[in-house]
Amino acid sequence: MISVFPDRIEILSRGTLAPAQTMEGFYMGESIPANEKLSEIFLQLHISEKSGRGVPKIIEMYGKDAFSFRENSITASIPFEKVNRLDNLGGNKKAKLNLRRQFIIKEIRDNANITTAELSKLLNISDTAVIRI
């Protein structure tokens, strides 16, 4: 589940680490699904991938503190303030936000209830492209 707040975006993943997963492995991007069959279905539907790039990318940009672990969930919190600060540094090419990303962040800030469909119409791109961005 994705929640948008005035100062951050939170990505909530229900469940915990897979029994075979370690915290170190999680932070390194090891992809060990808690439910192998469900993971395969999501892969076949192109809803998820098994590349293990997501967590390391978040850590690279926002640090390990972006993640919080609760009894039945894992949350990644992406603060808008840090996104803006990183974007304005200039020297960090990976932190630069392209115009579409900047536009999407502005629209979400202005209307936390905006949908993917509405963003795709505003940008004249597919829903899938909006999700990817």
Q: Which residue has the tokens 């999680």?
A: 26
Each residue of 8-61: pLDDT tens digit? 899 998 888 888 889 999 999 888 887 888 888 888 888 777 767 788 988 988
Cβ-proximal residues to 124 (8 Å cutoff; 6+ apart), any chain: none
Each residue of 68-120: pLDDT tens digit? 999 999 999 988 876 555 444 444 444 467 888 888 888 888 888 889 999 99
What is the reported pLDDT for 34?
77
Domain ranges for the chain: 2-79
Global pTM value:
0.56
Kind and range of the H or E run holding 122: helix 116-123
What is the reported pLDDT for 92?
47
What is the reported pLDDT for 64?
92
3-state DSSP call for residue 76? strand
Question: Which DSSP string do the residues of 2-43 spell out, in sequence order?
Answer: EEE-SSEEEEEEES---TT--HHHHHHT----SSHHHHHHHH
Question: How are strands ordered across the β-sheet holding 8-14?
Answer: 2-4, 8-14, 73-79, 67-70
